[in-house]
Amino acid sequence: MDAARALGRTLAGRGIELVYGGAKVGTMGAVADAALDAGGRVLGVIPHALVELEVAHEGLSELHEVANMHERKALMLELSDGVITLPGGYGSLDELFEALAWLQLGIHSMPVGLLNVRGYYDNLLAHLDHARVEGFLAPDHHGLLLADADAARLLDRMDEFRV
């Protein structure tokens, strides 16, 4: 949670608008709260079903309600200039790999970053290295994912990213 809040403050401090899933809970809620507290602008994109479950963040600069998770991911990518994935579970991995697959296919050209807090994603990164060695991930596609343990350094690397 500390890393999530630090990311939110860093984004706001750099004048980077946060586009995220629109919930008030979890690490993404912490990123949003920290960005807002630091004077940043935050846009949420949330499916109607999650609004009904009362997890929507009510203090955002802007909240887009969509029909389903597919629309959520598509709109978040459309509104974004880059993607950062924090430690998380299936949903985080789903969004990460969809963004990477779309980058690989040329659907977008924005940087995709992984905030590897305390080595959380070390095993995933090792698996991606293994996939490259085994020939399932082309060497030029292997470098599409930018990973770093430090939010500021990751943002710097994302700023320099070119396809």
Q: What share of the chain is helix, strand, coil (3-state, %, to 5)?
A: 50, 15, 30
pTM, two decimals, is 0.93
- Provide the β-strand partners of residue 127: none
Domain 1-80 carries which CATH code? 3.40.50.450
Q: Are 93 and 114 in contact (CB under 8 A)?
A: no
Each domain of the chain, given as residue ranges in start order, spans: 1-80, 82-163
Residues of the chain with pLDDT under 70: none
Taking each helix axis from N to C end, the angle separating 2-13 and 26-37, rounded to the nearest 10 degrees, works out to 40
Handedness of CA 68, 98, 109, 152 (dihedral sign): positive
- Provide the β-strand partners of residue 47: 66
Domains 1-80 and 82-163 share a fold: yes
pLDDT score at 9: 97
pLDDT score at 56: 95
Looking at 3.40.50.2300, 3.30.1330.40, 3.40.50.450, 3.40.50.920, the CATH number of the domain 82-163 comes to 3.40.50.450
Read off the pLDDT of residues 12-25 as tens digits, 9 standing for 90 and up: 999 999 999 999 99
Read off the pLDDT of residues 135-159 as tens digits, 9 standing for 90 and up: 999 988 989 999 999 999 999 999 9
pLDDT score at 86: 97
d(CA 34, CA 10): 9
pLDDT score at 139: 87
pLDDT score at 129: 96
